[in-house]
Homo-oligomer: A and B are copies of this chain.
Amino acid sequence: MTQPLIGVLGGMGPLATVDFLHKLIVALPARRDQEHVPTVVWNVPQIPDRQRALAGTGESPLPAMLAGIARLNAAGATRIVIPCNTAHLWFDALAAASSVPVIHIADATLAALARATSAVAPVGLIATRGALRAEIYQQRFVAGGIPFHTHTDEELDEFFTPGCYAIKNYELERGGKLLEHAGRLLVERGARRLVLACTEVPIGLTHIDSELLPISIDSTQALAEVCVAYWRQVSPQP
């Protein structure tokens, strides 16, 4: 039998990859090392910047991401995850190139949102400009009849984008505050839940222990939970 193994296409950014691997451990109450989810991680951050590529000011990250998918397949991965929402703009090409299923982070996150609340209430979507333009999340909200709010271009420029890059620069306090402010704007507009559809955001909000965390759905956490559910289903262990 093929041994189950989660392939992680990481490095986008490296800190979000670490956050994902940490959440994978915490999501599985294990008594021994050996019970934890096995992963192989292609954590090579020399992938051209996703946001710059989408803005037309940088080269495409697709070839580097495809190389990573090929490495993970060669290493024996039985499922692949990508702890970066913006990278999912290239999801179709990546999934087509993989001989094993690639789990979509937005599907994982929508499932987590459904588990968190049965009430239909407006959500606030915190995501990169590229992810917003590609409507990765909005199309799922529309299909589910979920009302949502997103940031304006000005709010992205002033709060979200600098917050996101601050986390990448390991300025966690500054980044956390900028991202919390961005989140509050959506709450003021009527959002009752926040969907953290950028894997830098939970790192910042957690660092400042933000009051927004209890109403937040964390896409990194959601992806980890799907991996734990898969592992529990297929694990050869009791």
Separation of A230 and B41 alpha carbons in the complex (Å)? 20
A49 interface residue, CB < 8 Å from B?
Answer: yes
Chain B residue at minimal CB-CB distance from A13: B33
Instruction: For A20, give the chain B residue with the smallest CB separation.
Output: B18
A43-B32 CB under 8 A given contacts A14-B21, A18-B21, A18-B22: no
Instruction: Please give the distance in Å from A180's CB to the nearest CB on chain B.
Output: 22
Among A1-29, those with CB < 8 Å from B are 5, 11-15, 17-18, 21-22, 24-26, 29
Write the nearest CB–CB distance from A72 to chain B, whole angstroms: 9
Find out whether the CB atom of B34 lies under 8 angstroms from the CB atom of A49. yes
The answer to whether the Cβ of A168 comes within 8 Å of any Cβ in the partner chain is yes
A29 to B24, CA, bound (A): 26
B5→A40 contact, CB < 8 A: no
In the assembled complex, the Cα of A46 lies from the Cα of B74 at a distance in Å of: 19
With the chains together, A42 CA to B38 CA distance in Å?
A: 8
Asked if A115 is at the interface (CB within 8 A of a chain B CB), the reply is no
Contact in complex: B26, A36 (CB < 8 Å): no
Query: Is A47 a contact of B34 with CB atoms below 8 Å?
Result: yes
Using a CB–CB cutoff of 8 Å, the interface residues on chain A facing chain B are 5, 11-15, 17-18, 21-22, 24-26, 29-36, 38-49, 71, 74-76, 168-170
Q: List 8 A-B contacts (CB under 8 A).
A: A18-B25, A33-B168, A34-B48, A34-B49, A38-B43, A38-B45, A38-B46, A42-B75
Apart from A21-B21, A74-B74, 9 more pairs, CB < 8 Å: A13-B36, A14-B33, A18-B18, A29-B170, A32-B168, A39-B41, A39-B44, A71-B75, A74-B75
